Amino acid sequence: MTSLNSHGIRFAFGTLTVLPVRVTRWDRTAARAGMLCAPLAGLVVGLLAAVPGVLLLLLGSGPLLAAVASAAVPAVLTRGLHLDGLADTADGLGSGKPADDALRIMKQSDIGPFGVITLLFVLLAQVAALHQLYGRGWAYGAVAAAVAAVTARLALTLASRRGVPPARPQGLGAAVAGTVTVRGAVAVGVVVVAGCAGAGALLGGYGALRHALAALAALGAAQLLLRHCVRRFDGVTGDVFGALAETAATTALVALTIG
């Protein structure tokens, strides 16, 4: 079990971040453990995203630059793959083509107009939300960055549950699709949402409830997109996973600005 957990952590960090972690085992068992560990990788990404934002804010640069820094770090730590997946998925969904043709469009190296527009508004929404949260204080921005990143990776855990098919026989989507049991996905989800509530409680007031609801809203938005993609593409791909992560992160950040 300890060995499997080690392989799972390696799989999560090796596939979802650019951190120097070597994936030592690539099979369905390791993929299941890796996707169960995905929120842990998200926590590390979120904490690293918060560091430059907090430092810039404390040094007097203002909340806007802090927000830009915190939004940029996750993109760097994922080589922009989640953003690229978001753009490709937007192009596929917006093409109006049958599943096979839409999947071919998503595999092309260039980004179409739907992808560009989606990237623009998603990044603007993330920066705008973080700007407002950092404006309330460095702790609000830091906790939000962590909660958004953890929830984004939890969306990937839920998308890897059994019953969600891969759209292609190859790629990351095929490697992880259907590997996680529904019970395992729900268990990880409960732990993560409870952790988000705990982090929000540190801010006082209704912070626990606000952050738990933000996480649930993020997961709800990701699940709606997942259902649409499965119906549209007959399954999930690595690009869809990237789109789910960015959708969940953005929704969490926007939800935290409310109230």
pLDDT tens readout for residues 173-219: 888 999 999 999 999 999 999 999 999 999 998 999 999 999 999 99
pLDDT tens readout for residues 95-107: 888 888 899 999 8
Distance, CA of 161 to CA of 135 (rounded, Å): 38
Res. 4 pLDDT band, cuts 50 70 90: low
Q: Average pLDDT for residues 145-168, to the nearest whole number? A: 96
Distance, CA of 207 to CA of 209 (rounded, Å): 6
CA-wise closest residue to 164 among 205, 211, 225: 225
pLDDT tens readout for residues 112-126: 899 999 999 999 999
Contact 160, 176 (CB under 8 A): yes
Q: What is the pLDDT of residue 183?
A: 96
pLDDT surpassing 70 at residue 169: yes
End-to-end, the C-alpha distance of the chain in Å comes to 44
pLDDT surpassing 70 at residue 3: no
Q: What is the mean pLDDT of the chain?
A: 94
pLDDT surpassing 80 at residue 55: yes
Q: What is the pLDDT of residue 24?
A: 80
Res. 172 pLDDT band, cuts 50 70 90: confident
- The model carries a pTM of 0.95
Identify which has the larger pLDDT, 144 or 4.
144
Q: Average pLDDT for residues 21-50, to the nearest whole number? A: 93
Packing angle of the helix pair 81-94, 238-256 (nearest 10 deg): 100
Q: What is the pLDDT of residue 129?
A: 98
Name the token pair of 185: 């996905």
